Structure 1
């Protein structure tokens, strides 16, 4: 039996190391990335103040979360039950947009360590504006038990028990009134909130909901319906 070691062919020899980043270089890049992230995080934390419990920012986020949740509830019902493609798309857009906005507002409240929902009456954060009583017809000194545009239990029951094109009309009437009822809160939040995040979101909501309001008026007219009084 032969004990000679077979000669290694070219294919048997280990391939030469490929040029690449050395561990030291990779470590350096990682450290730079960590420092950049730390600087950015520090600047964000340092530039963001925490609003007080009775601030416009906290009140807006709490009340608008409640207002939005009812819109999401009505939109989800319409989306699942209408046979009108235009209404199905509108309902989907409202549901997805306002769900995302609720998430942002609830996220802020969590960071600020504030309750997720109001604990008393609504809209007390607007009481310092002397023009609100005359503008909205409400005395804002003690807040309100129901925000403008909110559907009642009977309204929601009517939406669920109506079918076909008549349901689409009821949805448009309720959602149109709901959007119009939120205008005063959106305008006040845009103009009076302390943080730029809340001011910007309120302004974006106002723009998008104004466009949806115009669309719903057109769709309601096409279907022979009339807007409900606010």
Structure 2
């Protein structure tokens, strides 16, 4: 068990180091006047921009769930895991939103379905006909469970499926978040671990998509760090569920 915690902690640290390196690489990518960074900025519907927008929303819900369970249990291992997840994903979310600012791109695109960037070799995510030059965001930034007008109805997005009522694969529904907020003790611990297991599985699929499709080296490195960290935490959470006489949901 100690070895598993160590592995998860190491993976989280690596993800954070990737994030810091990514910021430095992006910030110093220009040649003094910012022209190089601007010339290489991803397009509005590119995998780079789509991943940044979608993963920022995905991460926000993980942070929200982690804060919820922190107040619903006194179990130190679960509280420690929740703190690590909240801290790591809040930092990574800030990194992703910072890139969008750096690229001069909106954080929300009203006509962009969630995860439409996945599975597109041309990097246009199903919007190849759009002019990306003057596109403005007209929607509201999605929180952990706000669908922003694009609620997923269990259909397939980028090769992975979102359950009915969830915005993206792995994300919890409003009803599940309410259940977590009402649970206490072991019930809260088990539900959190199950919801976060689903959440990580969806996050790993998204990060693997960016690691394959994104063109920005720093973003690809961050995505690979996310995959490593979340896969390690999946192993950890499976062990924690087993200790509580439960298992991940099907």
Distance in 1 of aligned mates of 2:196 and 2:33: 37
- Hey, what does 1:223 align to over in structure 2? 244
Q: Which of 141, 145, 156 in structure 2 is aligned with 1:138?
A: 156
Instruction: From the superposition, tell whether residues 124 and 40 of structure 1 become closer, same or farther in structure 2 (CA, over 3 Å).
Output: closer
TM-score by length of 2: 0.68
- Hey, what does 2:74 align to over in structure 1? 83
Deviations 1:2-61 (A, max 9, x none): xxxxxxxxxxxxxxxxxxxxxxxxxxxxxxxxxxxxx98626946541000011100000
Q: How many residues align?
A: 183
- Hey, what does 1:12 align to over in structure 2? none
- Hey, what does 2:31 align to over in structure 1? 42
Contact 2:30 2:36 in 1 (8 A): no
Distance in 2 of aligned mates of 1:79 and 1:169: 13
**CA offset at residue 213 of structure 1?**
0.7
Alignment of 1:146-185 (within 5 A): 146-185=167-206
Aligned-residue CA RMSD in angstroms? 2.3
Name whichever structure is richer in helix by fraction: 1
Distance in 1 of aligned mates of 2:227 and 2:196: 15
Equivalent residue of 1:126, what SS?
coil
Equivalent residue of 1:117, what SS?
coil
Deviations 1:123-182 (A, max 9, x none): 1111425xxxxxxx82549x9772111101111011011111111001000001100112
Instruction: From the superposition, tell whether residues 213 and 106 of structure 1 become closer, same or farther in structure 2 (CA, over 3 Å).
Output: same
- Hey, what does 2:136 align to over in structure 1? none
Instruction: From the superposition, tell whether residues 122 and 41 of structure 1 become closer, same or farther in structure 2 (CA, over 3 Å).
Output: closer
Matched, 1:54 2:57: no
Matched, 1:128 2:120: yes
- Hey, what does 1:10 align to over in structure 2? none
**CA offset at residue 79 of structure 1?**
1.8
**CA offset at residue 118 of structure 1?**
4.1
**CA offset at residue 117 of structure 1?**
2.7
**CA offset at residue 224 of structure 1?**
1.1
Contact 2:72 2:181 in 1 (8 A): no
Equivalent residue of 1:125, what SS?
coil
- Hey, what does 1:200 align to over in structure 2? 221
TM-score by length of 1: 0.73
Q: Which of 59, 63, 70 in structure 1 is aligned with 2:61?
A: 70
Instruction: From the superposition, tell whether residues 208 and 61 of structure 1 become closer, same or farther in structure 2 (CA, over 3 Å).
Output: same
**CA offset at residue 77 of structure 1?**
1.0
Q: Which runs of 5+ in 1 are unaligned?
A: 1-38, 130-136
Larger radius of gyration: 1
Distance in 2 of aligned mates of 1:43 and 1:211: 40
